[in-house]
Amino acid sequence: MEIGRKRVFLDSIDSTNSYAISLAEKGYPHGTIVVADKQTAGRGRHGRLWHSPPKKNIYMSIILRPHRGALRNLSLLTLMAAVAFSEAIKFKTSIPVRVKWPNDLMVFCGRDFKKVGGILSEARFIGGDLEFAIIGVGINVNSLDADFPPDLLNSAASLRMASAGDIDRDDLIEGLLVSLNKWYDTLLDGQDHLILKRWREISLTLGRDVAVTVREAHPEVIKGMAMDIDNEGRLLLSLPSGRIKRIESGDVVHLR
């Protein structure tokens, strides 16, 4: 198992992604993982904060150094990670996990699907070449209602809240690594279609009416029906005009 061969465990850190970036810059090898018990400034997508209380959840970042040219697309890397992590959670806890585009890990809890995990991929390039990529994953494992800020409770939950049992974080981390090793090899072998197929099977977004907030130069909300993802992981939205819009990055709200 290349991913997870070298492990760095920390009690507390600002962000495991930031720390993994600093280690990668110092030359730490492919497959190094950084795990913290707590983050003081965990980072989410689009510059948001990732709420990271101590000793309950998983905050992990992984350094990847693919061979030159082997990784064509960072979006696909993130979709691959979502597929791998959802499979591992199902295997270890029996809780079915679905994905909200692009990579929110969702479980059924109470009366609705809620977010239990997220993935933040970052990369450094030298010239046009990828020097390293970092996959950061945060999973709410054993948090309870009182551990969440009130404004998150409507949309976020933990695996424990969805299953009513305490979950062994170390065992789950082992499962995440086994699954990530397998699916990363699938990606490097060029078997993108297997990743896309699995992602489509567990998608909560496809086939639904959605509103997507796109944060480009001019932020806007685009409404339409989520038809599919393309081979690069972009969301294909069917607009009321009948036009198809390809969306590279954004926040999705499921309308119904």
Three-state DSSP state, 113 = strand
Task: Verify binding: residue 140, ligand BTN, rule CB under 6 A.
Answer: no
Task: Verify binding: residue 121, ligand BTN, rule CB under 6 A.
Answer: no
Task: Verify binding: residue 120, ligand BTN, rule CB under 6 A.
Answer: yes
DSSP 8-state class, residue 157: -
Rounded to whole angstroms, how far apart are CA atoms 66 and 71? 6
Rounded to whole angstroms, how far apart are CA atoms 103 and 97? 11
Smaller CB separation from ligand BTN, 115 or 238: 115
CB of 135 to ligand BTN, least distance (A): 9
Binding flags for ligand BTN, 169-208, as an x/- string (CB under 6 A):
----------------------------------------
Task: Verify binding: residue 50, ligand BTN, rule CB under 6 A.
Answer: yes
The window from 53-61, 93-101, 165-173, 207-215 that contacts ligand BTN (CB under 6 A) reads 53-61
CB of 27 to ligand BTN, least distance (A): 21
Nearest Cα residue to 80 out of 133, 152, 4, 9: 133
Task: Verify binding: residue 43, ligand BTN, rule CB under 6 A.
Answer: yes
Task: Verify binding: residue 16, ligand BTN, rule CB under 6 A.
Answer: yes
Residue 90: alpha-carbon gap to chain centroid:
15
Rounded to whole angstroms, how far apart are CA atoms 236 and 2? 34
Task: Verify binding: residue 250, ligand BTN, rule CB under 6 A.
Answer: no
Q: Contact 57/141 with Cβ under 8 angstroms?
A: yes
Nearest Cα residue to 161 out of 153, 149, 170, 169: 153
Number of residues that bind ligand BTN (CB under 6 A): 20
CB of 43 to ligand BTN, least distance (A): 4
Question: What strands lie across the sheet with 129-139, from one edge to the other?
Answer: 7-10, 33-36, 58-64, 129-139, 112-126, 104-109, 98-100
The window from 58-66, 71-79, 159-167, 182-190 that contacts ligand BTN (CB under 6 A) reads 58-66
Task: Verify binding: residue 42, ligand BTN, rule CB under 6 A.
Answer: yes
